Amino acid sequence: MDYAEGVFYQNTIKIVEEAANVINCDPNVLERIKYPRRAIIVSVPVRMDDYRVKVFTGYRVQHSSTLGPFKGGIRYHQDVDLSEVAALAALMTFKCSLLSLPLGGAKGGVKVDPTKLSRTEKQNLTRRFTSEIGPFIGPSKDIPAPDVGTDPQTMAWLMDTYSQEQGYAQPSVVTGKPIEIGGSHGRMGSTGLGVIFTAEKALEKLGQKLSGATFSIQGFGNVGQHAALYGFQRGAKILAVSDVSGGIYSAAGLDIPDVIRYVSEHKVVKGYPKAEPISNEDLLTLKCDVLAPCALDGVIHDGNVDKLQTRVVVEGANGPCTATASRRLAERDILNVPDILANGGGVIVSYFEWVQSLAYFFWDEEQVNTKMKQIITNAFDRVWEMKTEKKVDMRTAAMATAVKRLEKAMLLRGLYPR
Ligand code: GLU
């Protein structure tokens, strides 16, 4: 498969082209940013628990390093392919640019259903994948992080494998590590917290407070759980949450710490006794103030966008709205905080973690969260300014802001050889 074959990649490029048009971007810059710089495909042979060897396919796509080392997560999911990873890598470039971070964009993935792997199999897979992409990553080259299907433990195995092969400890090769081996306070909840900070800003624009606002949250992984928790702690009413097993709903609002306790015991939200069941589809069309899709891409599409009954969509996931659905949201006057802004809290704190790992000097959680809030809300304000000035929707405004910074840097660095 070519990376440009997937709909997600094509949609991403379409948004980039529209944004470039808004800011009259240099055509030579636009031509370059439509393609990743390099794409690495590896075979990952894994010793399974029954001693058989299974080979999985892994990817690392490095989109741009104009602004700094490549940066982006690693995803384990059965639907991973080259085109999806390339789209996600491009989004990382624009996310880091929008947030004014000194980082480029990359993404990795292995086509595997991680729920079907034992802990040993997942460790074997992670170590071999790390070894295969080893020559292309490093503290000043490309710094991976967690994404869908990976977690701090996965990052610890990655850090260990890379360090073993280099011969000494290299904590700054990866972010999203456990605190004990150089991770940052606040990294675990950072993406969810950023979702709440941007939701609060969006509500403020509509004259509403976060406290008392109703939320519907799709996805109860790391991002969804933390968004729900931080929203709940700040007085928002979380009406519904869901995961692959289905959803749960309470008109009075869910007791999120209690739901999290239930999930840590039962693995899924299904069966939670103090709420009614709701399907993932009904959760998306629930009447609420904020809908936060925090799972996978493409869940808001032509078929359901007109049924949405929310004032704001805050994209905790990467690419949850298709291009046409996104346009329709703007027509319907639903404020859509796009992924590269709404879920930027994760990579902002990854940046802090990388800096702390390089300096061997650590910050406390309050420092991390205060600085993250400053960066993400400043970015929100820059996007709002662009939206107002150019009279475009928020997604186009966010992408235009990102492309503008990248364009300046690319023109300053020039093309090698000329
Ligand atoms: N996977 C996350 C994202 O999509 C985090 C990436 C990172 O921290 O490098 O933003």
pLDDT confidence of residue 143? 98
Between CA 259 and CA 280 the distance in angstroms is: 17
pLDDT, mean of residues 49-62? 98
pLDDT over 90 at 266, yes or no = yes
Q: Which atom of ligand 1 is nearest to the CA of 144?
A: 9
pLDDT, mean of residues 129-154? 98
Q: Is 154 in the pocket of ligand 1 (CB under 6 A)?
A: no
pLDDT, mean of residues 219-226? 97
Domain with CATH 3.40.50.720 in the chain: 190-342
- pTM, two decimal places: 0.98
Q: Is 145 in the pocket of ligand 1 (CB under 6 A)?
A: yes
Nearest CA to ligand 1 atom 9: 72
pLDDT confidence of residue 57? 98
Residues 164 and 154: beta-carbon distance below 8 Å: no
Query: Running DSSP on this structure, what letter comes out for residue 321?
Result: B
Q: Which atom of ligand 1 is nearest to the CA of 349?
A: 8
pLDDT confidence of residue 2? 85
Residue-wise pLDDT tens digits, 303-313:
999 999 999 99
**What share of the chain in percent tops pLDDT 90?**
99
Q: Is 187 in the pocket of ligand 1 (CB under 6 A)?
A: no
Q: Is 222 in the pocket of ligand 1 (CB under 6 A)?
A: no
Q: Which letter, b or e, does each residue of 228-239 get, where b requires 16 or more Cβ atoms within 10 Å of its Cβ?
A: bbbbbeeebbbb
pLDDT confidence of residue 418? 86
370 C-alpha to ligand 1 centroid (Å): 19
Rounded to the nearest 10 degrees, what angle do helices 365-390 and 187-205 cross at?
Answer: 40
- CATH superfamily, with its number, for domain 35-180: Leucine Dehydrogenase, chain A, domain 1 (3.40.50.10860)
pLDDT, mean of residues 163-176? 98
pLDDT confidence of residue 169? 97
Token pair, residue 326, equals 């996104």
Q: Is 345 in the pocket of ligand 1 (CB under 6 A)?
A: no
**What share of the chain in percent tops pLDDT 70?**
100
Between CA 319 and CA 91 the distance in angstroms is: 9
349 C-alpha to ligand 1 centroid (Å): 9
Long-range contacts of 48-51 (CB under 8 A, 24+ apart): 48/121, 49/118, 49/120, 49/121
Give the number of C-alpha atoms closer than 13 A to the C-alpha of residue 278, restricted to the C-beta side. Answer: 22
pLDDT confidence of residue 85? 98
pLDDT confidence of residue 385? 98
* 199: confidence class by pLDDT, cuts 50, 70, 90: very high
Q: Is 346 in the pocket of ligand 1 (CB under 6 A)?
A: yes
pLDDT over 80 at 1, yes or no = no
Choices 3.40.50.720, 3.40.50.2300, 3.90.1150.10, 3.40.50.10860: CATH for 190-342:
3.40.50.720
Task: Name the residue among 107, 103, 93, 73 with its Cα closest to residue 29.
Answer: 93
Residue-wise pLDDT tens digits, 71-98:
999 999 999 999 999 999 999 999 999 9
pLDDT confidence of residue 283? 98
236 C-alpha to ligand 1 centroid (Å): 26
pLDDT confidence of residue 285? 97
335 C-alpha to ligand 1 centroid (Å): 23
pLDDT over 90 at 30, yes or no = yes
Domain with CATH 3.40.50.10860 in the chain: 35-180
pLDDT over 80 at 401, yes or no = yes
pLDDT, mean of residues 216-245? 97
347 C-alpha to ligand 1 centroid (Å): 5
Residue-wise pLDDT tens digits, 379-391:
999 999 999 999 9
Residue 14 known to be catalytic: no
Q: In the chain, what is the greatest distance between 2 CA atoms, to the nearest angstrom?
A: 65
Q: Which atom of ligand 1 is nearest to the CA of 350?
A: 8
Q: Is 350 in the pocket of ligand 1 (CB under 6 A)?
A: yes
Residue-wise pLDDT tens digits, 406-415:
999 999 999 9
Residue-wise pLDDT tens digits, 302-361:
999 999 999 999 999 999 999 899 999 999 999 999 999 999 999 999 999 999 999 999
pLDDT over 80 at 130, yes or no = yes
Residues shown for the chain = 418
